[in-house]
Structure 1
């Protein structure tokens, strides 16, 4: 697929780069330069008008047509483009920012007409999961070609046809054919595994690794895909068609580079949809004079012959048998599934007997309802016939296998299907036979072969009811198997990040959902459901399925009885509920009650590992709400519990939260000790309870980089900040990356690296919006306000900070409030609102004294001193603030704060005619900095010292 069309296109060259706009291909000295879809659009727009200023509004309109985006998105992709081009490195200049006007492409550009070449392919889409295609697809080449062509002109195509006609096969073939054009970004979503339409959007979002919040999952999915170029194949939509229609319509409208290929038994019936009706395979006409060679040319008979031969059948089609095969294909209406099922029987019955059996049973079926679709009647007849050809053992196993939703393993089949009257070896033999007879299909997922009943086969098997006691026993075994599987795989969930790694786990989760629905249903087993929900909660949490984790943990907690209260299951349920409720809703009483109840049970049971996990979450609960003293007490308690056992994961978590609490308390040396020990413990920690290690090592790392800057190592802090961000990106954990960005941006702001700050603030907002992380959306916008003030746009920054802080207060996410207030005070002073700035400074100081984030007190006192200087030159009061700030900085070991205050106080002293004292104050503080020569504070201090030394009064 191309985005320009035509056999010829213009090549655009500039510097060492060559851009083929029609192919969306950029190379540097012959090597492909990888760019995202929006970044390509940005480059094409800029190079289309070299040396001309293009306004930000025009660029947004070109790159995001008919989509409302914030200017931050433009800056984010502009920074990505500059980084890819090496703009600013070794004197290279390509894009110039025209302050207040827009952007201009300033490099020399030349154009040439060239032949169209195919776009280069890459595999940088970690969630690609397109199933393997058949080695040879019979009779569908024209269909694949036409559907591919329709997708070039229409971004939504639905393949419509009867069940078993081959829609999925064709869709997979189209996906493989277009994989290179989408640079591997093809996602296959089997909706046949979902019984609840409400899970459609959540399932797709989770396959993409998107953190699903309490709000609308569709918003997160659209935000994630808005700037991406991808093909999404939505397979088997008919049972959730209304939900899919609404979602597809929204995606097509909001994500201009996302293409959708759907398969369904009926159209989606939405604007912009192109329907491709997949007909049955062409069959030979009822012509007894047709030759064997002519009959072989029809796709239906070719499929029949190939499938029969593939089943080790010796089929020597002669002039006598050819018309019989043609008749079979016509009776099956050319339905691919029916043909394949029938062809597999030739080995046992031969062509003539197969035709006779088919004839008899189809005749019986035709006497049914005249209003039913003919092809549906034919397929039903084929399934009836196939089922009756099975042995009693095979029928029993097939009926029982219908309990599985989607794929299952052979181990699961044996454990669930076997019973007192059906031993394991018999089940193994029956499954093998059902695979051979095409009643069960196989597919490798990961390193293991998976089994699945086709949708039509499963529906047929479910329509052949089991006895009541057999159905209940089967559902119990199904539920218990997946409860055990969850427990065994608990330590693996957090490490699964890509689509391929998650595929088998999501397949199993569909069975977990089905088992939970049964357990808590009218005829279910609630006691088993409680255990299953307790095992499922951590897994759902690890896979970012928070609303589901909340639903089932709440459901199970409400179902607890006297026998299950106070046990390990309730402990896990309360822990998961408390964690999820905290993440989704912030400071709510229900979360606190649940976490305290879980802790009570863990303490009563002497379960120290889970005590550590729950104490950690209770600390997080108070930490996020800004009650740092209470949070610190829980961190101490958590560390004390962890010290009583030999568990590296528990130690890592406890030392991490204690280190972070000490950091905010201003005890930087002790914080560093705990954080370094935490990171060391994480390197050797093995499998652990998921909610214990939910955030992994990233909070420790990002707190460490802040600690380094504060202790006077700005270069080390910057270097490690880049490393921790890169690590979080590679891990592909959206929540972890958002946490890292939210805190790490401080280092870029403190060092005065505005470009990196802008880039990572844009990334923070994008990640938070994509993954429905409301607190971090507000934090990201507050960071944007901070940067605006530092860059001199104080009015704009104050407005952003006011709005963001209002949101932060409303949701109770107060962890960064002091940091934001400091920036707001600075902004208010800059716009002349010094009285309000002074009042906010006093209020913030009182809040710090009450809540315990003493880390910020030296900077608060410095800012207050500067505000006092702006109010009638109150030098004595300002000097007192500066002196107290320096004393507290030295007590904390916060050389970063100390240098700032020493610079301000030295300048004030020099202005007051005391240059000698000013130099005596500032010079030794600056001398402590052995690195950071290019950072903002060091440059400012050096300039102030030069002014003092060079002042006339000093001479």
Structure 2
């Protein structure tokens, strides 16, 4: 399995017979791990897990129940590489997420603060032995296997699988695109199997042979046979009949029919002869088993990449190895790692292409080489002097394949060059079908191009996707596609993807898993390409405006906010007077506004764009669009700390909802009203509205009818969790948090928004382990998806955690540093909670005057802004500051506690009431009035029916035990 989620088989030694194959299975919960195969399954289904995360899992499973230090883990997982602890935390967070660690009470990995990690679940081990096959010996005097490479980059997985396949089957063809490394792999497999065949391994290079009638003659002559006729087939088969030999037939694609017939005849007549062939096309011969060799794995686009992490990807390893071997001087910083990764992706992980580019580093350097590739994928760069002619340049490699195509296949290939990356068969038919090349001819040509490895096949669920490698696409664009023809193709391409966005756009918000979203993310590459063409020189700007308007809601739904901003702004600037005020501008202004809001927190610009979009929606009578825009304006004002204005937008949305029969709109209005009630401290009405929202909203699998409401499910859920905690139901609150996070796990904007408030519930309950796990998760998503304002909140939560963990000094310094960014990002609601934590930290380090000033400022702020629900906690902290003074002011403290108690009772926030009651009871104990403290605390404690494992209830129980 390739990609970021693949398990790189770094520690697997190529199989050598006759050593027995030993397989150990490790089991825990629903998971099974076969370490030797680097395979993880859950309930029998393969589970996706990154390479480093898999290595960490194996290390932890090797010593269950034992704390393994961070340095030791890094040394095991990144041997010989200097890696920062942040890389370890990142991959541990990915591992926890893949295992569902911390959800529904399931725990696998525990963190020992400052030390390391341990695997805490029971682990079962089982070992199975497989006897090796018997190896007969025979003499062979004609071995000609080329020398084995001293170093081969990450083909251990392929080599092991091919070795196993060759033991089981007699005829295997390694198929792949030109330059992917088929010959190299075949030679290494031959060396691995030399003992198995007692040295009887014959390598036959067919690339220099143009006459198919000579195939048998060449093989026979390499075996030392005296050929006395034009057809050496009968002599060759007679010789092989009782021989145990491995024939490696390299580069068969141009002689495919002859090789296929000959191979089938050998299989029948010579039962001890094995054949390993390489070809860009399957031979389709009797008894053939195909092994498709994929390109080398590249770092994924959009991921934060350090130099250390980059070196774990085989395409990067090959690039560095070949660059250094050619004499290049490389510092390979994080910045260079990102550039090299982009080059490897552009070269599709094709080994030959990577080697050719790497050889240019000594001459041009990293940046200039990358620039040359961006300007024009250089097909003429020359490789090693000893390489076969067909592999001297990329041009020669593709020329070799192009000459083997039929005329119709060439025409279709030229037309498919308009696609970027992966495309569907529907897209191919829409673009490539014309009057001269009808649908049936296009389908037949695609079949042929796939068979000849000119088009790569990418399964996606039950559907199949197709892709031209960038090298093939560049060849077609630069050598065989006319500019005038390309304009027509580009127009059909842009029209198809505009229609695709308009047709499928509503579905994007219900794609629940990464697997479901992946094909849509990939298809957006073609939308991007179409937009670039439309707004470029010679493009169609009117078509571009329509395409950008169709793309804006989808970019938003898929959290692609920088692109949403770029294309919405570009299209708005291109609007003429006749198109202003229409649906296109409505979508574009909304797209611009959402990107302003989430990327850099430009609230005023966002408000202006939202109001423009809302005005158009009202003029057009688009009620459901109005609902979505009012919902976002509500959130925008909450983030700005203007809760009174947010309440008014909630009321406007509620009024619009009453004028429609749409169930989703009504649920959406309940959600906004519930949040508005919560902010002002009316938790009873908040709970009623939020539960109504969850009860009446459609199933997440149903398409949302409310505009831009892709994340509609997390807001009522996460705020209901906070409401439940405030009302005194901490267990239900935590359960609701986990349930809500599951619903938005694959929507980065919604996920980080939910985590912003979910983590607060973990702080309230005192579950710092879950808080830390979810903060790491939060940051990895926010930074990976350029969610600047959300990332600022994540780092604030990290500092908040330090204060809760007792590292008050460092936590206060960090939180102070982040507060400017948090204010700039307009996180109005969470600012209050950060101020509360900051005040706690200031108290802990003895800065009482500053703590008191901050608390009083925050009280004034919530009174004016309207988010009064945390005020009882602020008053309680104010009382604690009075008690912490060098000369404690017990009277002032009691006054603050009593105010807090009165307000918490008026709000019906039982959890705030419990905290304040604990403080008051302790104050009474200090005065020698323990019975008064007991009478105050006990009835409050007895009103709780759950959550007795949480920090506040444990503290209350301990105090009551003392008082009794």
Q: What TM-score comes out, normalization by structure 1 length?
A: 0.68
2:355 aligned to which of 250, 263, 267: 267
Structure 1 position 638, deviation (Å): 2.1
Q: Which residue of 2 aligns with 1:3?
A: 11
1:143 aligned to which of 173, 184, 189: 184
Q: Which residue of 2 aligns with 1:567?
A: 582
Determine the C-alpha separation between the residues in 2 that align with 1:513 and 1:459.
21
Determine the C-alpha separation between the residues in 2 that align with 1:948 and 1:571.
65
Determine the C-alpha separation between the residues in 1 that align with 2:414 and 2:131.
53
Q: Which residue of 2 aligns with 1:883?
A: 898
Q: Which residue of 1 aligns with 2:650?
A: 635
2:337 aligned to which of 245, 250, 257: 250
Correspondence 1:712-723 to 2 at 5 A: 712-723=728-739
1:855 aligns to what SS in structure 2? coil
* Residues 1:885 and 1:510: Cα distance change in structure 2 (over 3 Å): same
Structure 1 position 844, deviation (Å): 1.1
Structure 1 position 876, deviation (Å): 2.3
Q: What per-residue deviation string (whole Å, max 9, x for no partner) do you get for residues 590-637 of structure 1?
A: 322211111111111111111111111222222223222222222222
Q: Which residue of 1 aligns with 2:606?
A: 591
Q: Which residue of 2 aligns with 1:783?
A: 797
* Residues 1:607 and 1:709: Cα distance change in structure 2 (over 3 Å): same
Correspondence 1:293-308 to 2 at 5 A: none
Q: Which residue of 2 aligns with 1:290?
A: none
Determine the C-alpha separation between the residues in 1 that align with 2:532 and 2:49.
44
Structure 1 position 940, deviation (Å): 1.9
- Aligned 8 A contact 2:422 2:523 in 1: yes
Structure 1 position 488, deviation (Å): 0.8
* Residues 1:235 and 1:63: Cα distance change in structure 2 (over 3 Å): closer
> Mean Cα displacement is larger for which, 559-568 or 522-531?
522-531
2:782 aligned to which of 756, 759, 768: 768
> Mean Cα displacement is larger for which, 55-64 or 625-634?
55-64
Q: Please give the root-mean-square deviation of Cα atoms over the aligned residues, in Å.
A: 5.6
Are 1:428 and 2:439 matched, yes or no?
yes
Correspondence 1:317-328 to 2 at 5 A: none
Number of aligned residue pairs = 774
- Aligned 8 A contact 1:626 1:814 in 2: yes
Q: What per-residue deviation string (whole Å, max 9, x for no partner) do you get for residues 515-562 of structure 1?
A: 322322233332222111100112223333322222111110000111
Determine the C-alpha separation between the residues in 2 that align with 1:254 and 1:402.
23
Determine the C-alpha separation between the residues in 1 that align with 2:91 and 2:489.
57
1:932 aligns to what SS in structure 2? coil
* Unaligned segments of structure 2, at least 5 residues: 1-8, 133-155, 158-170, 193-249, 255-277, 283-287, 320-327, 362-387
Determine the C-alpha separation between the residues in 2 that align with 1:493 and 1:669.
34
- Aligned 8 A contact 1:399 1:466 in 2: no
- Aligned 8 A contact 1:926 1:938 in 2: yes
Q: What per-residue deviation string (whole Å, max 9, x for no partner) do you get for residues 737-793 of structure 1?
A: 333332112222212223333333333333334433333433333333333333433
Structure 1 position 472, deviation (Å): 5.5
Determine the C-alpha separation between the residues in 1 that align with 2:38 and 2:937.
55
Structure 1 position 865, deviation (Å): 0.8
Q: What per-residue deviation string (whole Å, max 9, x for no partner) do you get for residues 629-673 of structure 1?
A: 222222222222222212233333333233223222212112112
- Aligned 8 A contact 1:446 1:504 in 2: no
- Aligned 8 A contact 1:414 1:428 in 2: yes
Q: What per-residue deviation string (whole Å, max 9, x for no partner) do you get for residues 171-216 of structure 1?
A: xx9997899xxxxxx9978xxxxxxxxxxx8xx44xxxxxxxxxxx
* Residues 1:846 and 1:20: Cα distance change in structure 2 (over 3 Å): same
Determine the C-alpha separation between the residues in 1 that align with 2:854 and 2:189.
62
Q: Which residue of 1 aligns with 2:947?
A: 932
- Aligned 8 A contact 1:39 1:81 in 2: no
Correspondence 1:502-521 to 2 at 5 A: 502=517, 504-506=519-521, 508-521=523-536
Determine the C-alpha separation between the residues in 1 that align with 2:123 and 2:481.
72
* Unaligned segments of structure 1, at least 5 residues: 123-133, 152-160, 180-185, 190-200, 206-216, 237-241, 274-332, 337-369, 950-955
2:528 aligns to what SS in structure 1? helix
Are 1:753 and 2:767 matched, yes or no?
yes
Are 1:816 and 2:824 matched, yes or no?
no
* Residues 1:602 and 1:10: Cα distance change in structure 2 (over 3 Å): same
* Residues 1:787 and 1:463: Cα distance change in structure 2 (over 3 Å): closer
* Residues 1:786 and 1:471: Cα distance change in structure 2 (over 3 Å): closer
2:85 aligns to what SS in structure 1? coil
Are 1:696 and 2:704 matched, yes or no?
no
1:868 aligns to what SS in structure 2? helix
Are 1:850 and 2:864 matched, yes or no?
yes
> Mean Cα displacement is larger for which, 529-538 or 451-460?
451-460
Structure 1 position 890, deviation (Å): 1.5
* Residues 1:52 and 1:581: Cα distance change in structure 2 (over 3 Å): closer
Q: Which residue of 2 aligns with 1:706?
A: 722
Determine the C-alpha separation between the residues in 2 that align with 1:449 and 1:54.
43
Correspondence 1:518-533 to 2 at 5 A: 518-533=533-548
Determine the C-alpha separation between the residues in 2 that align with 1:803 and 1:248.
26
Q: Which residue of 2 aligns with 1:350?
A: none
Structure 1 position 713, deviation (Å): 0.9
Structure with bigger RCO (C-alpha 8 Å, 6+ apart): 1
Q: Which residue of 2 aligns with 1:900?
A: 915
Determine the C-alpha separation between the residues in 2 that align with 1:785 and 1:450.
45
Structure 1 position 854, deviation (Å): 0.9
Q: Which residue of 2 aligns with 1:648?
A: 663
Q: Which residue of 1 aligns with 2:496?
A: 481
Correspondence 1:35-184 to 2 at 5 A: 38=52, 41=55, 56-60=70-74, 62-63=76-77, 65-70=81-86, 73=89, 80=96, 97=112, 136-137=173-174, 143-145=184-186
Determine the C-alpha separation between the residues in 1 that align with 2:446 and 2:27.
60
1:3 aligns to what SS in structure 2? coil
- Aligned 8 A contact 1:72 1:762 in 2: no
Determine the C-alpha separation between the residues in 2 that align with 1:776 and 1:138.
46
* Residues 1:137 and 1:821: Cα distance change in structure 2 (over 3 Å): same
Determine the C-alpha separation between the residues in 1 that align with 2:398 and 2:605.
51
Are 1:724 and 2:740 matched, yes or no?
yes
Q: Which residue of 2 aligns with 1:577?
A: 592
- Aligned 8 A contact 1:848 1:857 in 2: yes
Correspondence 1:270-419 to 2 at 5 A: 270=358, 386-387=406-407, 403-405=418-420, 411-412=426-427, 415=430
2:881 aligned to which of 867, 873, 879: 867
Determine the C-alpha separation between the residues in 1 that align with 2:95 and 2:476.
56
Q: Which residue of 1 aligns with 2:675?
A: 660
Q: Which residue of 2 aligns with 1:315?
A: none
Structure 1 position 12, deviation (Å): 11
Are 1:682 and 2:697 matched, yes or no?
yes
1:744 aligned to which of 737, 758, 761: 758
Structure 1 position 409, deviation (Å): 5.0
Determine the C-alpha separation between the residues in 2 that align with 1:614 and 1:705.
25
Structure 1 position 81, deviation (Å): 12
Q: Which residue of 2 aligns with 1:804?
A: 818
Structure 1 position 586, deviation (Å): 1.1
* Residues 1:567 and 1:81: Cα distance change in structure 2 (over 3 Å): closer
